[in-house]
Amino acid sequence: MEFEAMSCDELSAYLRSVPGVYALLNEPVELDIAEVGDGNLNFVYFASNTKAPEKSVVVKQAPPFLRLVGKTWPLTRHRMEREVAALRRFGALCPQHVPRVYHADNELFLMVMQRLSSHRILRQGLMDGIVYPKLAGHLSTYLAHTLFFGSDLYLAPDVKKQAVSAAINSELCKITEDLVFTYPFEDHPSNVYSAAFPRAEIERIWKSPALRVAVGEMKWSFMSDAQTLLHGDLHTGSIMVNQDETYVIDPEFAFYGPMGFDIGAVLANLLLAYFSRDWHDREARANGGLPYRDWLLEQATQIWNGFADQFIALWREHESRRKSYFIGDDRGGACVDAFRARFMQRLFADSLGFAGCKMIRRIVGMAKVVDVTSIADEALRATVEVRALRCAQRLLVERHAIADIGEVVAVAREIQATRYA
């Protein structure tokens, strides 16, 4: 049977028939339904009590195709189950940063969730040059909790292995495997290049053994390293913010993968925001004296450092409570901290590698970021794109040599200061 999106009347009747949702919406006689329409994958609606519009929920339904492309790109609707399971898991770990799921319907592949009406998409806020004073702290907390508690550092090994199995998400992983790790490095018909983007830059990337080796290693890691339950698509469009709160939404790409993939997504999108400031700062807004582009790099620094501190703290606390270490007893007292330091160093390198892949796919691949596509000046856009690519390449190739996040910031500044013909 052909899929048909629900009409507003159908959706309204449905929502009123679900007791929990009906109560939550204050027993509405009538509902206002508005399709949000910006979902890449799904149909998304706001449903509000007509008489009490503050009583409102989000409804998300997965059609049997990729909504952005249409029926020619089929996708199983079971992705909705993955998303619901991930929201519930992340919500249990980090309730202050994950929207609540009120209701999930496994037959309609539909869920009803918390509406974040006073929040906006972070990417839009960054484009507008808004400072979010709590953002870095919140994202550090979210990353530390979700990445730590899904891993073998915390879970019993059998529980973790079952979680790996339960989180298999082949179809959406395939999208990432293709669109992030493969197609951008080929002359693939799905790639899109901006008008003034120099073709020589693409050729350079395609033909650089050091870069291609690094990307291949990140792809292999993405496909094999079942380290923890990831969000799987943690760009700044999957984050909703206001001055006080931060929520991470849309984990339909959730699966067991390498921790650095989520961290890298955040770093990549901050760097893309950074390089695009030449356009968005063109009217030279003042932001309390501190140039906004510096604030963006400062967020990258604070997010990594805050994440690392909290991750280590959760790890220490857990092992101290359990009175045993992942590596076994430490009679000399120097081994456990040495292992943690190495672990974080490798995770940092992984994060930079994935950040590089994520930046490249946004420049030469199919799916773009509006930070860059909104640059109306074609030449400037091309410059921003080349800078982003150069930065990505250095992160990938030098990821094991870059000592800390401060060096990443230095690389970004250096590239920003360079003129590319």
Contact flag: residue 164 with a copy of itself (CB under 8 A): yes
In whole angstroms, the minimum distance from the beta carbon of 159 to a copy of itself comes to: 9
Contact flag: residue 335 with a copy of itself (CB under 8 A): yes
In whole angstroms, the minimum distance from the beta carbon of 235 to a copy of itself comes to: 22
Asked whether 339 and 163 are in contact (CB, 8 A), the reply is no
Rounded to whole angstroms, the Cα distance separating 112 from 104 reads 6
Contact flag: residue 35 with a copy of itself (CB under 8 A): no
Of the candidate residues 35, 105, 152, 245, the single one contacting a copy of itself (CB under 8 A) = 152
- The SS3 assignment for 113 reads strand
Of the candidate residues 54, 107, 187, 283, the single one contacting a copy of itself (CB under 8 A) = 187
Of the candidate residues 34, 52, 168, 410, the single one contacting a copy of itself (CB under 8 A) = 168
In whole angstroms, the minimum distance from the beta carbon of 197 to a copy of itself comes to: 17
Distances (CA, A) of 196 to 188, 193, 199, 234, 281: 19, 8, 9, 29, 21
- The SS3 assignment for 111 reads strand
Contact flag: residue 157 with a copy of itself (CB under 8 A): yes
Contact flag: residue 185 with a copy of itself (CB under 8 A): yes
In whole angstroms, the minimum distance from the beta carbon of 259 to a copy of itself comes to: 10
354, with CB counted inside 10 A (0-12, 13-18, 19+), is: buried
Of the candidate residues 124, 191, 208, 305, the single one contacting a copy of itself (CB under 8 A) = 208
**Residue given tokens 């969730």 in the structure block:** 113
Q: Who's near 365: CB < 8 A, 6+ residues apart? A: 179, 180, 183, 184, 190, 191, 192
- Report residue 6 as tokens: 């629900």
In whole angstroms, the minimum distance from the beta carbon of 370 to a copy of itself comes to: 26
Contact flag: residue 191 with a copy of itself (CB under 8 A): no
Beta-carbon count within 10 A of 48 CB: 21
Of the candidate residues 5, 13, 220, 285, the single one contacting a copy of itself (CB under 8 A) = 220
Contact flag: residue 165 with a copy of itself (CB under 8 A): yes
In whole angstroms, the minimum distance from the beta carbon of 210 to a copy of itself comes to: 8
Distances (CA, A) of 399 to 193, 202, 234, 264, 405: 26, 21, 20, 12, 11
In the beta sheet, which residues pair with residue 240? 121, 247
Contact flag: residue 223 with a copy of itself (CB under 8 A): yes
User: Which residues of the chain form contacts with a copy of itself (CB under 8 A)?
Assistant: 151-152, 157-158, 160-162, 164-165, 168, 170-171, 173-174, 177, 181-183, 185-187, 203, 206-210, 212-213, 215-217, 219-220, 223-227, 326-332, 334-335, 338-339, 342-343, 346
